[in-house]
A and B are shown apart, each in its own frame.
Chain A
Amino acid sequence: MTQNRFNRTTTLNQQEPDRGTKTAMRIIVPLQGVVQGRGGLVLGSIIPCALFYFFQLYLKRKNRNPSPPSSPDGLLSSLELSGSGLSRSQSRTHLSPRASSGPAYVSSRANSIEKSSDSPYYVGLEKVLDDPFDSVRNPDGVIQLGLAENKLSLDLLQVWIKESVKSSMMGAGGDLNISRIATYQPFDGLTELKVAVAGFMSEVMGNSVSFNPSQIVLTAGATPAIEILSFCLADTGNAFLVPSPYYPGFDRDIKWRTGVKLIPVPCRSADNFGLSLNALDRAFNQAKKRGLKVRGVLVSNPSNPVGNLLNRETLYSLLDFAREKNIHIICDEIFAGSTYGDEEFVSMAEILETEDIDRNRVHILYGLSKDLSLPGFRVGVIYSYNEKVLAAAKRLTRFSSISLPTQRLLISMLSDSRSIREFLETSKERLQKMYTLFVEGLKKLGIECTRSSGGFYCWADMSGLIRSYSEKGELELWDKLLNIAKINVTPGSSCHCIEPGWFRCCFTTLTEDDIPVVLERIWKVAETCKSRS
């Protein structure tokens, strides 16, 4: 299989043949026509080739200098694939003294990951791992407010599982009590687990909708769930629209190996960061003009980081929008069971149940990491109304299948409806309480948060504390908070927020006693910021 010399050095070109060739053709064809009339065959081939070559160089250079992840216009991000020809300078492999003929060339994906590790989101997480706070053993450690772990209701889980064990739903070796199977296990999960998960999801959404187990594909965590769905719905070089600010993990989970782009659709504080259909429409049209094919819209409900809920009207409008543009809707409802406050949570599934609409374009994501505090067990859910998507996703779960003992354990746990109900209720109460405490505490420091109704975060406006109203100012404050106050919060720029000064703070890793500690640390930094300005 012969390949064009140019194509070999630029991976971008391989992935976007339509776009590159189309533009190139527009230049070459008229040029060739002109040149061949006079200069003949030689000029007629050299000039277009030269132009094509320089065009490739331009594209390559454009992608070599990507904009930082925070740019609001972020069509390119630091995770964009660089040309494989760069591996020579970028691979930091140390050569053993008995080296061979050169450094080991890895893939461009491997090279690109070097850069993204410098983003604040990941730096902060690393810092906590190195020096984690513990009220007794390490009171000066870094307090984790950047990772959504729910520690508020772990004691309930412990009780729940103890009872399951006692009532001998499992016994010694129970999680290994697998009958000798001569056939392979379905990679997308045991049917009994799907049934149990469907029931659980129903319970989580307040029993206002029932989920069909045969529309479920189970994956080893929500991370592969979103990646698998992306592989199914879009080709390399296509794009999803995502209202911003959004969960920083999407950048890696969706874009990295699939080559799918994310186009942020900014939401504004003036709208309480609510989703605007107009903005979506504008973004879609802009993308189209740039030659980007949008394959879907990705929304989170409750949203991360803001914690907003999508109301019925918005959900209907989204469906209309998707139908009009013939694209997919991916609805990440992973925090559905972690709502608090007065607003009612409405799942996309509920909307689809009531109306007779085109369901083929709707896919819901879920998992047990948040609502059930079981991130270690790796359970993610793809819930789709599209038979073909389900079939394709099923096949892809061979790379990300849930461990069998864990499946057995969960089948037991999730069949206990009474415990589920109790757990969810208490969990919500505690979330509400902790949220209120934390937000009020911040308010006393002069830091306002948006009103949120779900999730593990508060979205805090610290723009009053930053020196220059810019991303740079925001990152300076972030640095102070991390290294002086020793709390890891997520800066809004990592979430692609276009307004500087917003920070995402997770409150579920804290106990009530920790809150004053956190507030005091923030206050100290806040004072130094204020005294300077």
Chain B
Amino acid sequence: MELISNSNSNNQQLLSRIATNGGHGEDSPYFDGWKAYDNDPFNYTENPKGVIQMGLAENQLSFDLIEDWMKTHPRASICTTEGVTEFKDIALFQDYHGLPAFRNAVAKFMGKTRGGKVVFDPDHIVMSGGATGAAETITFCLADPGEAFLVPTPYYPAFDRDLKWRTGIQLLPVVCESSNNFNITITALEAAYENARKANIRVKGLLLNNPSNPLGTVVDRETLRNIVTFINKNNIHLICDEIYAATVFSQPNFVSIAEIIEEENVICNRDLIHILYSLSKDMGFPGFRVGIIYSYNKNVVNCARKMSSFGLVSTQTQHLIASMLSDDEFIDSFISESSRRLAKRHKILTNGLSQLGIGSLKSNAGLFFWMDLRRLLKEPTYEAEMTLWRMIIKDVKLNVSPGSSFHCTEPGWFRVCFANMNDETMEVALRRIKVFMKKQMMRRSNLRLSFSSRRFEECAMTPRMMGSPHSPLVMTPHSPLVHAS
């Protein structure tokens, strides 16, 4: 029975707009990086010259800890002789409230990862199909087609697809700049809100990613308080994507929005506060598809819960996670060990790079850091960034993610993921960058004879993070996307 690849126009008309428009975002040129990797994936022994994947934000550093726990706790799985007695009850359970043990365990875990400073109510926990599903579901609950969310830039590219594609909403950027370390300012928030108002677009909410992807930074208390004031004043929702909450590996501590609204001096309508969470990053479970929506708004909980039918977590997984997250001793040691490993990896890479004259934004969380390659650009434009990026993929054979795909208003920034590879691979990556930088320096010193760009050499030698003087930026009209995280 063969598949008919029918190219006649009749066939085309049979599909919906959603099926045929570009909302999935895969047609952007940034796919080249992934394609390059897929065609030539690095393998330490079998393909040592392949492309190293540094564009995937997954946490594989502590998976061995999980595996060990699994081996010593066979009852947590319904596929072992010890656990199989529960099989039929688990298999039959399809209540979209989720297994009570699961919800309780998740609530407890969320409290733990916020330093024990907040208590979460299991009844406000709603499941969804991974973090992707959580983001889309909350959007369906809060906004109608044509309405908008504000999002501080730079932001995770897949938001463009996850929040807009089927929901029909828009994302409006709140511009953050390197001059103040990409902090979110009230001025920027109000400017964005005002622009929306002028364009007659109804803003329904602000989407905050804390800790931030791609920056790897946490939002400080003062800014969080200001944000809460802002959203209350304008009566819009605040959606906090805290998916990287437990990946904080050094000071300052992570402060959750849940903590802020409990503060005495903070005035807040809690019906406007919603938290998105998932176990994909903190625990590093690839493909478990555990997404969590935590809302303080009962209506939203009710609506999201009914929508969760479109992406419930498998009860087998719920059962497993309920067991694991209830093991306090394990979880405590896991969180601290995982942080330690992330900190170590982060330090090796950022130190290695700064010795080569490459700076990055100071960060303390996440599975990546925000690398500053502005001085390597021929000119401060997106075209130059793309040229550099292509060079990095082709010559250095690293897939890093260009800042423009994150809607960064300043060209030259790249996101580098460090938690999805082992130590040897990381060493290889560093070595390749070293070689590349040496070549760059040689090229520039040759150029210096014809141009008088002393500045370039200075920049290449010093590890400081300098703001290079920019000419007015050229903004590209499209919003390119990077596949997956």
Question: Could you tell me if A409 and B316 are in contact, using CB atoms closer than 8 angstroms?
Answer: yes
Q: Which of B10, B142, B309 contacts A106 (CB 8 A)?
A: B142
Kindly specify which of B129-137, B185-193, B214-222, B473-481 makes contact with the partner chain. B129-137
**How near does chain A come to B140, taking the closest CB pair, in angstroms?**
6
Alpha-carbon separation in the docked complex, A392 to B166 (Å): 12
Residues in A whose Cβ lies below 8 Å from that of B268: 96, 98, 100
CB distance from B276 to the nearest CB of A (A): 14
Interface size on B, residues (CB 8 A): 103
Known A107-B142, A214-B3; judge A220-B289 contact (CB<8 A).
yes
A46 at the interface (CB under 8 A from B): no
Q: A203 → chain B, closest Cβ, in Å? A: 17
With beta carbons under 8 angstroms apart, the residue of B60, B67, B92, B310 that contacts A154 is B92
A265-280: CB near B (< 8 Å → 1, else 0) gives: 0000000000000000
Q: Is the CB of A170 closer than 8 A to any CB of chain B?
A: yes
Q: Which of B305-331 contact A (CB under 8 A)?
A: 306-307, 309-317, 320
- Given the interface contacts A107-B144, A157-B91, does A399 sit within 8 Å of B420 by beta carbon? no
How many Å from the CB of B22 to the closest CB on chain A?
11
A-chain residues with CB within 8 Å of residue B3 when the two chains form the complex = 212, 214-215, 385, 387
Which of B37, B80, B289, B302 contacts A403 (CB under 8 A)?
B289
If A95-B271, A100-B267, A221-B312 touch, whether A376 touches B90 (CB-CB below 8 Å) is: yes
Distance to closest chain B CB from A389 (angstroms): 7
Nearest CB to that of B307 among chain A residues?
A257
A7 and B6 alpha carbons, distance in the complex (Å) = 38
Interface residue? A326 (CB, 8 A):
yes
User: What distance in Å separates the Cβ of A247 from its nearest Cβ neighbour in chain B?
Assistant: 13
Instruction: Kindly state whether residue B18 has any CB partner on chain A within 8 Å.
Output: yes
Contact of B287 among A100, A185, A233 (CB under 8 A): A185
In the complex, A227→B286 CA distance in Å?
25
Known A154-B88, A157-B91, A224-B129; contact A15-B145, beta-carbon cutoff 8 A:
yes
B11 is an interface residue with CB less than 8 A from chain A? yes
Residue of B nearest to A376 (CB): B315
- Minimum CB–CB distance from A295 to chain B (whole Å) comes to 8
Residues of B within 8 A of A224 (CB): 129, 309-311
Known contacts: A3-B200, A405-B317. The answer to whether A373 contacts B15 by CB under 8 A is no
A378 on the B face (CB < 8 A): yes
A85, B97: Cα distance in complex, Å: 30
B122 at the interface (CB under 8 A from A): no
Which residue of A105, A158, A386, A389 is within 8 Å of B84 (Cβ)? A158
Q: How far is the CB of A1 from chain B (nearest CB, A)?
A: 6
Q: Which of A108-116, A453-461, A519-527 makes up part of the contact surface?
A: A108-116
A102 within 8 A of B: yes
Is B141 among interface residues, defined by CB-CB distance under 8 A?
yes
In the bound complex, residues from chain B placing their C-beta under 8 Å from that of A171 are: 80
Q: Is the CB of A376 within 8 A of B93?
A: yes
Give per-residue flags for B74-85: 1 if the beta carbon is below 8 A from chain A beta carbons, else 0.
100111110010
B316 pairs with A182, CB closer than 8 A: no
A223 at interface, CB cutoff 8 A: yes
A531 within 8 A of B: no
Residues of A within 8 A of B288 (CB): 403-405
Q: Which residues of B contact A388 (CB under 8 A)?
A: 11-12, 15, 19-20
- Tell whether, in the assembled complex, residue B303 and residue A183 are in contact, meaning their CB atoms are under 8 Å apart: no
A172 to B73, CA, bound (A): 8
Partner-binding segment picked from A35-43, A160-168, A302-310:
A160-168
B232 beta carbon closer than 8 Å to chain A: yes
Q: Is B143 an interface residue (CB 8 A)?
A: yes
Choose from B299, B313, B316 the contact partner of A93 (Cβ within 8 Å): B299
> Considering the chains assembled together, what is the distance between the CA atoms of A184 and B485 in angstroms?
9
Q: Which residues of the partner chain B approach A223 to less than 8 Å between Cβ atoms?
A: 309-310
Q: Which B residues between 202 and 241 are near A, CB-CB below 8 angstroms?
A: 202, 204, 232-235, 237
Residues of A within 8 A of B387 (CB): none
Residues from 144 to 158 in A contacting B, C-beta threshold 8 Å: 149, 151, 154-155, 157-158
Stretch at the interface among A353-361, A420-428, A431-439: A353-361
Question: Which residue of the partner chain, among A2, A15, A182, A328, contacts B200 with CB atoms under 8 Å?
Answer: A2
CA gap between A361 and B24 in the complex, in Å: 23
Shortest CB-to-CB span from B399 to chain A, Å, is 11
| Cβ B421 vs Cβ A400 within 8 A | no
Rounded to whole angstroms, the CA-CA distance of A91 and B235 in the bound complex is 14
Do residues B80 and A172 form an inter-chain contact, with CB atoms below 8 A?
yes
Contact B311 A373 (CB under 8 A): no
Q: Which residue of chain B has the shortest Cβ distance to A100 in the bound complex? A: B232
| Contact A93:B303 (CB < 8 A) given known A109-B141, A165-B79, A375-B94 | no
Query: Is the CB–CB distance between A99 and B269 below 8 Å?
Result: yes
What is the CB-to-nearest-CB distance from B193 to chain A, in angstroms, rounded to a whole number?
14
Q: Check: B443 CB closer than 8 A to any chain A CB.
A: no
Please tell me which one of the listed residues A96, A129, A176 contacts residue B66 in the complex, with CB atoms under 8 A apart. A176
Closest chain A residue to B8, Cβ basis: A360
Whether A174 pairs with B79 at a CB distance below 8 angstroms is yes
Residues in chain B near residue A282, CB distance under 8 A: none
Docked pose: A375 CA to B314 CA in angstroms:
9
Which residues from chain A contact B237 at a C-beta distance below 8 Å?
104
User: What residues of chain B lie closer than 8 Å to A253, measured between beta carbons?
Assistant: 309-310
Chain A residues with Cβ below 8 Å from B176 are: none
Q: Give the shortest distance, in Å, between A157 (CB) and chain B (any CB).
A: 6
Q: Which residues of B contact A62 (CB under 8 A)?
A: none
The CB with the most chain A CB atoms within 10 A, among B204, B235, B287, is that of: B287
- 17 A-B pairs in the complex with CB atoms less than 8 angstroms apart: A8-B146, A93-B299, A100-B235, A104-B237, A109-B144, A149-B92, A162-B84, A173-B77, A183-B37, A231-B18, A235-B17, A253-B310, A374-B91, A378-B312, A385-B4, A399-B311, A412-B79
Those 5 A-B pairs whose CB atoms lie nearest each other, nearest first: A376-B315, A404-B287, A392-B19, A173-B70, A104-B271
List 4 extra interface pairs beyond A106-B142, A231-B18, A403-B287, CB under 8 A: A98-B268, A104-B235, A374-B91, A409-B79
